[in-house]
Structure formats: structure tokens, C-alpha cells
Amino acid sequence: EKMYVRRESDSYLIDFTDPSEDRIWNDAIAVNEGWSWYADNREKDKFGLIANDVSGGKHLSLEVFGGKHGLVEISYVISYENFGLSLVWIDDDRTSGKKEEELCLKETTGLIGSERGVEILVASWDEKASVPTVTVLRQRVKEGQPKFIHICLTPKSESRQGKENKFKLLSVRLY
């Protein structure tokens, strides 16, 4: 509320939607295991960083710096078909912890305990539409503090529509 009222815009943004060849976000990628940048729509004009694997386990690590308010916002596509779940966590490790990596290779149907600092990003729903959505993480990052945000695709659940298992990351913003 404080940010909205005061219209403060001091933030650190990693934007994967810009179609220009100037990919300044490349410097923020610490680890990329199976994520690709492309436009996945018919018109080839809606870009994002995409993981697609029914087995899951595709891992991305982004080096970030905390903003004034400590908030972390993840923007991604939610769709009715061919989209799945990803896990996200923040830590000091460039690669990732074994505990979290093991979680990324298991089908995720319930909530992950917040004591582990792992949150679920749900990119699948029943509406016949594909739209952007935003999740503000519970975990915070202190202003100026360097951290690593990890995102990993989990295996496809049989209950989800379609044959694919995608997660399309649009942006990461720290306020």
C-alpha cells in the first residue's frame, strides 16, 4: 500500500518479454538448466523464458539484489493446457541445495512447507485462456542484498490438460 500511494518505483527488474536482441537479463542468469528464451504463440511476439519437460527438474538461478521494500514479484503465464507447476526459493547459493533439487523431480500436488522457504507457482487453471499473472513471494530480500532466486519445473501431473509441461517466466521484480 505504501508503494502504491507514494508511487515509488525504485525496483530491480529482469524482463524476459522484450523481443529486442539486447538481452541485458543474460547477466542475471547464474544457472540455466533447460530454460530457453522464445515466443511460444502463433504470432511469435509473446516472449518469455520457458522450461518444458514432462519429467520436470529444469532449474534456473537468477542473481538479484533486494529493493527498498524487500518484496519479490514473479510474473509468469497461467494457462488451461500444457502448463504446470514450478517451485521457487531464495538463498545465498548460486547453484541450489540438494533438498530443493530433489523436490523438483517429484510431482507436486500439495503445499510445500514454508519452513523450507520453498513456494509453489501454479501456471495451470481451468479457464480457457492464457494470461499473465503475478505472485509476490513470502520470502523477502533486504535492500541491496545479493541473493539467488531459484525456479524449477516440477514433473507433469496426470490431472493437468495437454501433453506438455511448460512454465513461462515473464519477469522478476524486486521492490
pLDDT in tens, 145-163: 999 999 999 999 888 888 9
Q: Which of 105-114, 126-135, 136-145 has the lowest mean pLDDT?
A: 105-114
- Residue 3's H or E segment, with its range, is helix 2-6
Question: Taking a C-beta distance cutoff of 8 angstroms, is the pair 57, 167 a contact?
Answer: no
Joined together, the cell numbers standing for residue 114 give: 514454508
**Taking 80 as the threshold, does the pLDDT of residue 100 lie above it?**
no
> What percentage of the chain carries pLDDT values higher than 90?
70
